[in-house]
Structure 1
Amino acid sequence: MTQSELAPLDILHTLGINGTPIVTPVLGGFDMAMWKVEHEGKTSALRVFRAGAHEDCEHEREVMDAARAAGLPVPEVQRAGVWQDRPALLITWLAGRPLEDELRARPWRLWSLGVTFGRMQARIHAIPAPALLRQQPDAWITWQCEGEQILQDRLRHLYSDQMALLHLDYHLRNVLTDGKHITGIVDWTNALAGDPRADAARTISILRFDPLARKPLLVRLGLRIFEQAWRAGYQHERGHLKDMSLFYAWAGTVIQRNLAPRYKHIPNELAPARRWTNKWKARTGCERFSALTIDKLP
C-alpha cells in the first residue's frame, strides 16, 4: 500500500481531528501506511491499514492495550475509525529513536542496550496474552510454516501450553531508545499467544539474517556482541532458554518465508538463512541430513 493513494488530512477529519494538522510520511509497511501528525501542540502517529483489514486493526489495538496496561512503553490509542473501508488508528507518538540508529551512532552502547533489550522482551513474555489471541493457541506454530507438518507436529508435542504475549517482530527497528532506556515498542501486527521461546528464536533469526545484505565484519561482530547481551538480559529476568532447537528451526523457516518475496530475483541471498535452518532441522529430525554433512552449529 502506497501513501500516495491515501489522503491523510481527510482520514484525520474522519477521526475527528479538525483544523490543519501537519502530517509527515513515515516509513510504513507492505499493508500499512503511517504519518507523523502534529496538531495543537501534540504529536501523534496515524496508522492506516489496507482496505477491509478490520480484524487486523482490532487485533493490534487489543494487543497494544494489553501491553500498555501491563506497564510497557507502548503507544496509546487516541482515536479509531474507518475511511473508505480502511481502518485507521491515531496513537501517541513515542519519544526516542530506533535502537538500530542509536547503535550506529554510539556503538559503545552495544552491551548495555543489548541487556536492556533482552530484559524488555522478557517483560513482554511475562504478560498473559489477551483473550483475542488466546482463541488461536496454535496460530504461532502454523504462521508462515505451510507444508512443514513434521516441524509443526514436533512443536505441538514440545509446546508447554503457555499463553504468553509474543511480539514476533521484536528487533532493532521496532524498539525505541533515548540512549539509556527503552522508550517504546512498536509494530504489534504479528503479535500472537504462545511459547516465549518462539519469540526469542524469532528475534535471533532477525538479528542474524534480516537484512541479508552482506554486512562489514565489524557490524557482524557488533551484532554478535549485542546478541550475547540480549541473552544476558533476557536470562536475568526469566532464566535460561532451554530446548531451543525446534524453535530455531521454526524461526529459520519463518524468516525464509518472510524474505523470499524481497529476494525472489536473487534467491541465493537466502542461502545463509537456509543453511542455518537446515542445521536445526537436521538436529531435531525434521529433515533427513547425514550427520557427516552438518557443519558445526553456531
Structure 2
Amino acid sequence: MKVTDEPIERTAQPDGQYAIKLPGPGLGEVAVGDVIEFLRGIVDLVAYGAAADLGRPIGLPGRRGAPIEGAAKVRLVNLRSGSLVAELQPAPPTPIAGSIGLNVETLSERGLNAVFETVDGTRIHAELAPALRQFARRMAARRPGASVVFLDRRHGPEREIPLDEAALDRLEALGHDATGVGRDQVTGRIFEANIESDEAHLRTPTGESVKVTFEADFEPEVKRLLGDRASLRGEVEYDASTRRVREIRVTEILAGDQLGMDFEGIDFWRDPSLSELAEQAGARPVADPDELHFAEASDGEWEQLYDALRSR
C-alpha cells in the first residue's frame, strides 16, 4: 500500500488527543498487514482498557459484551506513514439497552486513558499488562527493533511514552503477580454473610461468586442487604488466570437509588411497595378530610381544579 507523508484520510474532526506510533523506515511502501495488525491491536487495547475500567477484565481472548465493544470503536482521524502514526478519537456515544443515560464515549475515553496510564506507569492496571505485552510482541515481529510509542496529548504539549524494554519489564513484573489489585466497584446480590468473621459472598449478574470482607462498622448494612442487591466499593482483587473479580475489601456500600448502572442490561432496581414509598416520602395517614384543604387556595382555583378533573 502506497502511503505518503500526507494523511491517508483527513476528516473535519480535530487531531486525536490520543496517538500511537510504530517507528519505521522513511516514506515508501507500507505492508497492508502492518497497518491492519497495528490498528487491530489498538482496538483490542481499548477494549481491555474499557473492561478494566468496568471492573470485569476480559481474558486473552474473552467475551467483551456490548458496552466494551462499543467503547472499542475508536475513530481513526488521521494516519501517517514512515513512522506509522494513528491519531484517534474515542468512540461516539452508543445507546445501550437497559441503561439510563449511559454515555459510551465516556467509557471509551476511560479505556484509552487506562491504556496510556498503564504504559506510562502513572496508574496500575495489572489486568492490561498481558494485552500490552502481546501488542508489543506482535509489532516487534512486524518491525524488528522498533518500539511502539504512545503520544499523549491529553494535558498539554505532546509527550512520548515508549513501550520500550523498561516498560515491558515493568509489565512483565505485573504479569508475574498472583493477582491484579485495584480500587473498583462490584454490583450484585449479597447471598451469604458470616458476621462473626466479617465475610460475605456476592453473586454478580454474570453468575460469579465474589468474596466480600468488611470491617465491623459495615455489619448493620450487610445484615440489612442480605438477600438483596447492593453495589460495593473498595479494594478489588482479580484472579490472575480468568481476570475476573475474586474478592473485594469493602470501603463503601451503596444501595437503593445510589446503585451503579448494570452494563449488561439486567435490572438492578427493586420495586418498592406502596407502604415503603409512603414511608420514604414522609407521608402519613389522613384522619380528618379537612386536613387536605389548602388554605391558600381560593374558591376559584378549586373550581378550576374540579372542572379539569371532570373534563378527563
TM class, shorter-length: under 0.3
Q: Which has the larger radius of gyration?
A: 2
TM-score normalized by structure 2? 0.26
User: By percentage of residues, which structure has more strand?
Assistant: 2
TM-score normalized by structure 1? 0.27
